Amino acid sequence: MKKFSVKTIVAIGIGAALFFVLGRFVIIPSPVPNTNISIQYALLAFVAAVFGPTAGLLVGLIGHTLIDLSWGSPWWSWIIASGVFGLLMGIALKALKLDEGEIGKKGLIKFNISQVVAHVICWGVVAPVLDILIYNEPIEKLFAQGLFAGISNSVTTAIVGSILCVAYAASKPKAGSLNKE
């Protein structure tokens, strides 16, 4: 089993805490019942891109669980979908070189295609199917929620997540930039 570095463990803790704060206190109400416009998925995508799929999975699971517990009770289908989103983003974005100070147009395109696909999978398939299996929820309601969540999360992740990736990459020294010529 691969051991976590201290840096990754700290990132999981801070990432889950930030996910909780953003998901609990920085929300925009939506016209769809029990669904908000959220920006925490931008943070989750960024953490997964930098620290990998396991960190993304854990930040999504822990952060979403904390949000739900603060409202009263966990809604496991959406908690699992958040974890799956972090996992998928970590897998899809392994090749990004954010730590090397690189993102570029191709990196941003890959980031955004990956996040849209991951949101479609999580909010169009994982969350609704688990809602049916776990909670026996009405199908029409589930797919309306999933569709709205997938679209709004994709938009907020595209904007905020892209900014986070660009800013992080810009803060890192470029490969070979410290070499003498």
CATH architecture of structural domain 6-171? Orthogonal Bundle (1.10)
Residue ranges of the chain with per-residue pLDDT less than 50: none
Residue 98 confidence (pLDDT): 84
Residue 175 confidence (pLDDT): 60
Residue (of 62, 43, 83) closest to 168 by Cα position: 43
DSSP conformational letter for 26:
S
Strand partners, 28: 37
The tokens for 37 are 């416009």
CA dist 98 and 131 (Å) reads: 35
Residue 46 confidence (pLDDT): 96
Residue (of 20, 95, 5) closest to 54 by Cα position: 5
Residue 102 confidence (pLDDT): 83
The tokens for 96 are 């990004």
Over residues 83-96, the pLDDT tens digits come to: 999 999 999 998 88
| pTM greater than 0.95 (yes/no) | no
Contact assessment for residue 165 and residue 46, using Cβ atoms and an 8 Å cutoff: yes
Residue 32 confidence (pLDDT): 80
CA dist 154 and 36 (Å) reads: 13
Other CB atoms within 10 Å distance of the CB of residue 42: 23
Residue 95 confidence (pLDDT): 83
Residue 172 confidence (pLDDT): 84
Residue 178 confidence (pLDDT): 57
CA dist 65 and 80 (Å) reads: 9
CA dist 171 and 96 (Å) reads: 15
Q: What are the CA-CA distances from residue 14 to residues 65, 84, 180 (Å)? A: 15, 19, 37
Query: How high is the mean pLDDT of the chain?
Result: 91
Domain boundaries, the chain: 6-171
